[in-house]
Amino acid sequence: MPELPEVEIVRQSLDKNIKQKKVKKVIIRNKNLRFKLPTHFKNFLENKKITRVTRFSKYIILNLPKNEFCIIHLGMSGTLHLIKDKNKNNLTNLSFYNSPLLPKNHNHIEIIFNKFKVVYNDPRRFGFFQLIKTIKNLNKRFSHLGPEPFDKKFNVKYFKNFIKNKKKKVKDLLIDQKFVSGIGNIYVSEILFLSKINPYKKVNLLNKKECNIIIENSKTILLKAIKKGGSSIRDFKNTEGSKGNFQDSFKVYQRNGLNCKRIGCKGIITKKVIANRSTFFCNTCQN
């Protein structure tokens, strides 16, 4: 599943191409996604201008006039493809899953603009589109989620209050979307390595300094990943056909058995499974 940096790259790509553009037509080839498309989906989008494309956590938000919104979640295998009328062989994939070209099958939705279209492809159909008619309902839609790592609300006071009386592992905490939104498995390993904190450490044992280090390093790692265009675990490319290269900066993720990259550390990167997820950390400098 794409994490916050990859979704942000898709958001930037979409905003660059469809901002202030009017939807001419919507073609629905399969309405049975994770949630069935509402019957008025086509009428809701057609002949409306996309005022801008925003994002919360791993959700892409198409902003429409009169405070209406269309939320897109890519799920496990969803991709968005930009198809230009005069360039049939161009790289189309805005996401980082599967082929950089438009697949022949599982193209469920087409949003058609003047001289180009955006196609939603999803083999596993775990992604979804949701229509929201007011800002109040948009905020309500995300009320069950914690703040984003970049939000001022994600601070030491919030951190300490959330973990009070909890004994879960810090790795489990950071992938808990109710605690902080958008951080996934890949970036948690990198954040904890940079913070010199063992993923098995119980959150009730974190001191104020360690909480602050995690907060700051969450921002550092995610901003670096966004700047580098996301992680190309499965051939991520943005609209310019540029491949994300944050994976070249991995210190621990997928480096099981290799030497630690921290200067002066002679440890080995270890892989363990926590909550059914692969977790990578140094057996020396993170103990």
Annotated catalytic residue, options 2, 100, 149, 199: 2
Note whether 135 and 43 are within 8 A (CB).
no
d(CA 240, CA 229): 11
Across 181-276, the runs of DSSP E, i.e. the strands, are 269-274
Q: For the range 64-69, what are the long-range contacts, defined as Cβ-Cβ under 8 Å and sequence gap of 24 or more? A: 67/133, 67/134, 67/135, 68/44, 68/131, 68/132, 68/133, 68/134, 69/131, 69/132, 69/133, 69/138
Give phi and psi for 37, each to the nearest 5: -60, 135
d(CA 119, CA 14): 12
* Beta-ladder partners of 280: 271
Annotated catalytic residue, options 3, 6, 68, 190: 3
d(CA 4, CA 12): 12
Q: 141 an active-site residue? A: no
Annotated catalytic residue, options 58, 117, 228, 255: 58
d(CA 120, CA 107): 6
d(CA 276, CA 169): 13
Q: 2 an active-site residue? A: yes
Q: 277 an active-site residue? A: yes
Q: 58 an active-site residue? A: yes
Report the catalytic residues. 2-3, 58, 277
